[in-house]
Amino acid sequence: MTKDELYHIISNGESETVEFKSMFGKEVIESIVAFSNSKGGKVIIGVNDNKNIIGVTVSDESIQKWINEIKQNTNPQVIPDTETLELEGKTVVLFRVIEYPVKPVAFHNKYYKRKANSNHLMSIEEIANEHLKTINSSWDFYPDPNHSIHNISIKKIRQFIHNIEQKNHSEITISPVDFLSKLEFIRNNKITFGVYLLFAEDYCSISDLQIGRFKSDTHIIDSLSLNTDLFTEVDETIAFIKKHLMVEYIITGEPRRQERFDYPLEAIREIVINMIVHRDYRDSSGSIIKIFDDRIEFFNPGNLYGGITISDLLTDNYTSQARNKLIAKAFKEAGIIERYGSGIRRILSICNDYGIIPPRIEEVFNGFRVVLFKKKTRKNKNGGVSEGVSEGVSEGVNNKIDLLNYIIANPGLRTNHLAKKIKVPQKTIERWLSELKTEKKAVYKGSPKTGGYYAK
């Protein structure tokens, strides 16, 4: 690394991949472990928290001693690349760490992960997930100790196979159980957690999904409780929601009039499939759908998986990682999922094309929620979105993530236009935009007078 490159790194301050330390100590090893369990990073020794270069006194022997101490106190052993540079007449030591291929890495039997610009002690769930990702597996591929082949429906498996045959235009000649074994859905004659969820014969205790039609926050006029296999849950959930949608008929001049529901059925189906496939079924709470007069709320237990953020989802700035690989594979084999990791952007696009305001997407109550709104947008003469959308969205733009969501649906608006349309103070908009630009989630395109903001 050149001196100029190191100066540039120091000037930008600590981050998700950079840590400063005045001297070598256990905190250095913690950071090295945190980087190993995340995306990798650099620990710079001889620089304080204020980005001042204070230097350290070292020799070849002392650096080797530090490396040995790191090796002896990490499991699996981590050996960082080391570089010594002179800045402003002072010695600075750089430890460079890659994302470790076998995770998680421990320091004194504790596991750390890098989040933003600090190290966080990993939870039991995070430790387990990192291990499963390392062996390219997920919990739903593990044998279910509480259920056997007698608890699943051969009829449902045959229907699954039939769907695959129709999709691939080929016949599957082996038995249903042998076919699941070939997919590794059944291992050593034991069903996995995923197989139980997909093909449960009767009541499935861990697939709890509650749906209600609300006239107010407390007044329920209809409800449905589901504890069945996941394929059935998708169909029954969509049928219940459709039953409570309003429909209008459009006269087009064709012999048959067109039906238009107040919400796009395609978006509802996409949301329901995603929540059922990606839910954290190890969480004791269930999925909840609330249908109100003006919106539908979809809540799933379990935060976003794989360290991605809402901003990452909205901008496609991530690599898709399925929490439930077996379940996702089964839905894809059956032709229900076309491709992984594109659901949110597809939902936003569907809503925009349908002429309703963008859905709200957020992490709440240790879970993930999508709110689909009924309010329509209005198109102006130039094909853009008029104030009809801003009036609806202004109620829901409460942070930079909501703003990014709005920009995705309404690209090319300037700061003052954004502030006016969504009725948020311009200084607040400027601060959120600055943060989004720093995070490389949004970008300004065009001239200072005619340009505007776009999702990056």
In this predicted structure, what is the pLDDT of residue 29? 97
> Are residues 227 and 301 part of one domain?
yes
The last residue of a domain, from among 199, 221, 238? 199
Please report, rounded to a whole number, the percentage of residues in the chain having pLDDT higher than 90: 59
- The pLDDT of residue 385: 43
What's the rounded Cα separation, in Å, for the pair 411 and 353? 14
- pLDDT of residue 160 exceeding 80, the answer is yes
> Which residues constitute the domain of residue 446?
384-456
pLDDT digits (tens, 9 = 90+) for 407-428: 887 888 999 888 888 888 888 8
Proportion of the chain above pLDDT 70, given as a percent: 92
| Averaged pLDDT for residues 92-108 | 90
Q: What is the pLDDT of residue 284?
A: 82
Q: Which of 135, 168, 185 is the last residue of a domain?
A: 135
Exposed, middle or buried, 243 (CB in 10 Å: 0-12/13-18/19+)?
A: exposed
The single-letter DSSP state of residue 142 is S
Q: CA 418, 422, 428, 430: dihedral to nearest 10 degrees? A: -10
In the predicted structure, residue 98 carries a pLDDT above the cut 50: yes
Is 267 in the same domain as 314? yes
Give pLDDT, residue 252.
67
DSSP letter string, 160-183: HHHHHHHHHT----S-HHHHHHHT
User: What is the reported pLDDT for 308?
Assistant: 81
Q: Look up the CATH number of the domain holding residue 29.
A: 3.30.950.30
What pTM value is reported for the model?
0.65
Instruction: List Cα–Cα distances, 225 to 208, 243, 244, 246, 302, in angstroms.
Output: 7, 15, 16, 22, 20
Provide DSSP, 322-377: -SSHHHHHHHHHTTS-SSTT-HHHHHHHHHHHHTBPPPEEEEETTEEEEEEE-PBP
Same structural domain, 372 and 228: yes
Q: Which of 93, 79, 83, 92 is nearest to 36 (CA)?
A: 79
- pLDDT of res. 340: 60
Looking at residue 220, which CATH number applies to its domain? 3.30.565.60
Query: For the domain that residue 426 is a member of, what is the CATH number?
Result: 1.10.10.10
Same domain for 317 and 244: yes
Interval 355-369: pLDDT, tens:
999 999 998 888 999
Same domain flag for 156 and 246: no
DSSP 44: E
pLDDT of residue 384: 45
Kindly report which listed range (5-9, 205-209, 312-316, 326-330) carries the lowest average pLDDT score.
312-316
Identify the helix (H) or strand (E) that includes residue 152: none
Facing residues of 116 across strands?
none
Instruction: Report whether pLDDT(45) > 90.
Output: yes
Domain final position from 89, 120, 135:
135
Residue 127 has pLDDT above 80, yes or no: yes
Q: Which of 12-26, 149-163, 412-426 has the lowest mean pLDDT?
A: 412-426
pLDDT at 253: 67
Mean local confidence (pLDDT), 385-397: 43
Q: Are residues 351 and 428 in the same domain?
A: no
pLDDT at position 386 = 40
- Tell whether 169 and 98 lie within a shared domain: no
Q: Are residues 404 and 270 in the same domain?
A: no
Radius of gyration of the chain (CA): 26
Give the model's pLDDT for residue 321.
Answer: 76
* pLDDT at residue 391, rounded to an integer: 37
Tens-digit pLDDT profile for residues 221-263? 999 999 999 999 999 999 999 999 998 877 666 767 778 899 9
Average pLDDT value over all residues in the chain: 88
Q: What is the domain count for the chain?
A: 4
Tens-digit pLDDT profile for residues 333-345: 999 987 666 678 8
In this predicted structure, what is the pLDDT of residue 18? 96
Does one domain contain both 115 and 215? no
Residues 335 and 247 in one domain: yes
- Check whether residue 321 and residue 417 sit in a common domain: no
Residue 291 is predicted with a pLDDT of: 97
Q: Report pLDDT for 126.
A: 87
Residue 389 or residue 131, greater confidence: 131
Q: What is the mean pLDDT of residues 400-404?
A: 83
Mean pLDDT of 81-106: 91
In this prediction, residue 392 carries a pLDDT of 38
Q: Give 280-318 pLDDT, tens digit per residue.
A: 998 888 999 999 999 999 999 988 887 788 877 877 767
pLDDT of residue 101: 74
Residues 328 and 213 reside in one and the same domain: yes
Question: Cα-flanking dihedrals φ and ψ of residue 120, to 5°?
Answer: -120, 135
Amino acid at 444: Y
How far is residue 81's CA from residue 73's CA, in Å, rounded to a whole number? 16
How do residues 56-83 score in pLDDT, each as one tens digit? 999 888 999 999 999 999 998 898 989 9
Q: Sign of dihedral through CA atoms 142, 145, 146, 151?
A: positive
Question: Virtual CA dihedral for 155, 145, 129, 78, nearest 10 degrees?
Answer: -130
What does the block give as tokens for 218? 């407390």
Lowest pLDDT segment from 59-68, 173-182, 436-445: 436-445
**pLDDT for 382:** 44
